[in-house]
Amino acid sequence: MHRRFLKFYILLATSSLAIGSLTAFTERFIIKSIDSQLPSTSRVNIFSRPGTIELLSSQGKIIQKLGPLTREKIKPNKMPEVIKKAFIAAEDRRFYKHNGVDFWSIGRATLTNLKERSIVEGGSTITQQLARIIFLSQDRTLKRKLNEIALAFKLERNLSKEEIIGQYLNNVYLGSNAYGIADAAWIYFNKTPDQLNLEEAALIAGLAPAPSLYSPLVNSDLALKRRAIVLQKMRLENFISDSELSTALKQPLNLKPATPKYLLSEAPFFTTFIEQELPNLLSKEQLEIGGLKVYTSLNLEWQLKAREVIESKIPLDVEAAIVSIEPSSGLIRVLVGGKDFNKNQFNRATQALRSPGSTFKIFTYIAAIENGYKPDDILFDTPRCWYGYCPKNFGDRYYGEVSIANAFTDSLNTVAVDLLAKVGFEKVISTANRLGIGEAKQLGYFFPLALGAYEETVLNMTAAYAGIANRGVYIRPSAIEKIEGPDEEIIWSHTRGDKDQLRAVSIEAADTINWMLRKVVTEGSGRAALLNNRQVAGKTGTSEGNRDLWFIGSIPQLTTSVWIGKDDNSKVKGSSGDAAFAWKQFILKINNDLEVINFPKRDS
């Protein structure tokens, strides 16, 4: 009898162990099967809302953030305790006790709602809310709720409680364009999260169920009532004392509204240009999905210094633009399209078509050199007409026999037209086209073209001169170095392929023109741009009627244009020397950032 009971107990224990193991195995199998059908929890750490775009400078500094994104995040282990306690008390007081779904809270909420005959209390845990924010829509359907529950369990299995509460606080919407606690602290109180006191943390925590309704910027009385409820819940959980509760309840709102960080651009002319360029590089779907990091070419420090020059050195009654391009890469390092973006958003660097004046002469001289002319060749500078067109030199001064180099240095108009007639329109226009000029507006076969009787953007003229500084290799200008998608994969790169790079001018011709451009600065109309410690290759330009004042100058590492004019195309006081002087002031501000190097010597 004893043996029979012993065998029975052994059989029972073995069966129980087998059933338990089978149950555990089955449970793990089911969990694993379900998990495999759900999104990876790693997405929590790289989450960005649909349509969000982050623009960064070439040094990695945030210039602007676009779309409904969290503008600042806090590392979960750095989240202040008072904030965590306020949200846990308000949203999920059993947060540290459940495994993602709190059935006790769901039951309590259901009874409360039935009693009140309306939805007055929710049963979703913080983990469920995080799952909904990251992975799901806000649709109130049974399918979405079941997915939310499954994802909540998965989050709890893969992340710590601190990671969950931290990511929730970084991403929850809290009204007034505030996504996350850092945004809310700044927008409502002009503070960082670690500076929030008890009553401020409680007020923000009270916003989560209905941010638009409870916003203190919309309804201060309702916001105070919500704050009181959160404070009382914090006392019930023993997160605060009676005296802390009493003191906090008496405090006024003390709001200090502030603009969301990174909502406004530090370089608005440049970032609006980026926004216009993105649809040319990415699909509509990629832009809608968002989660993009756009690493731009902008040197933000230089940009701000260029803006200082425009504000301090350019007369009040005129506008100006400055563009700087790195010749070796085509990357746009500076782009200022006007004096004050807030007053006028028209971008004079990229949108305005302006007459380049004598800066256009470079294309005629390049074509001449590539067709056998030498800098020492002699031409005749005399008053002449070409089919009824009779150009005049500045001050009606003529020099008779003059070398091509000296004619360029002194910017003699009659010689420029004479060279155009000798070389031919097709060769001059072809030279300009290879350097990116004539795409926006086609170049015409008329003699005033030699003197810049044509309209082009500051950006395109800068890129053309950068191609000459790059020893004849033209690189289409780019404001973006690379773009990363939601999973940090590179989806576009400036370095991919050579389709935007062209040998536009021979090395010999480019070196010769650079030498002639240096003579313009040391001996001619560009003296105002002369630097003591650097070689400068540049050209001034003035359009007919003194409507546009230009200087486009290069040091080996950087080509920069300064344009001065009026939006109504009326006459401007001063001369192109003013543009050359402004160019010099900008280069002096960034002088220490660039190594002093010389241009390659030309072959004699």
Lowest mean pLDDT among 141-150, 345-354, 453-462, 529-538: 141-150
Residue 140 lies inside a defined structural domain of this protein: yes
Residue 82 lies inside a defined structural domain of this protein: yes
Q: Is the dihedral of CA 309, 314, 317, 323 positive or negative?
A: negative
Per the prediction, the chain carries an average pLDDT of: 88
- Supply the pLDDT for residue 290: 83
Range of 136's domain?
A: 72-250
Cα–Cα distance for residue pair 192/272, rounded to 1 Å: 28
Residue 592 lies inside a defined structural domain of this protein: no
**How sure is the predictor about 39, in pLDDT bands with cuts at 50, 70 and 90?**
low
Asked whether the predicted pLDDT for residue 102 surpasses 70, the reply is yes
Residue 383 lies inside a defined structural domain of this protein: no
pLDDT tens string 254-271:
999 998 888 889 999 999
| Residues 250/256/259/260 CA torsion (nearest 10 deg) | -40
Residue 438 lies inside a defined structural domain of this protein: no
Mapping DSSP to helix (H, G, I), strand (E, B) and coil, where does residue 150 land? helix
Residue 305 lies inside a defined structural domain of this protein: no
Asked whether the predicted pLDDT for residue 222 surpasses 80, the reply is yes
Residue 199: CATH number of its domain: 1.10.3810.10
Residue in 464, 438, 424 with CA at minimum distance from that of residue 550: 464
- Supply the pLDDT for residue 3: 56
Asked whether the predicted pLDDT for residue 382 surpasses 70, the reply is yes
Residue 236 lies inside a defined structural domain of this protein: yes
- Supply the pLDDT for residue 177: 81
Q: To the nearest whole percent, how much of the chain has pLDDT over 90?
A: 71
The total of structural domains in the chain comes to 1
For residues 88 and 233, the answer to whether their CB atoms sit within 8 Å is: no
Asked whether the predicted pLDDT for residue 138 surpasses 70, the reply is no
Whole-Å CA distances, 172 to 70, 403, 466: 9, 72, 47
Q: What is the model's pTM?
A: 0.80
pLDDT tens string 572-581:
999 999 999 9
pLDDT tens string 185-214:
999 999 999 999 999 999 999 999 989 889
Residue 500 lies inside a defined structural domain of this protein: no
Token match 């799901």: residue? 136
Long-range contacts of 133-139 (CB under 8 A, 24+ apart): 133/47, 133/168, 133/171, 133/172, 133/173, 134/43, 134/44, 134/47, 134/167, 134/171, 135/39, 135/43
Lowest mean pLDDT among 146-160, 289-303, 347-361: 146-160
Amino acid in position 423: V
Averaged pLDDT, 130-141: 74
**How sure is the predictor about 100, in pLDDT bands with cuts at 50, 70 and 90?**
confident
Element (H, E) at 394: none
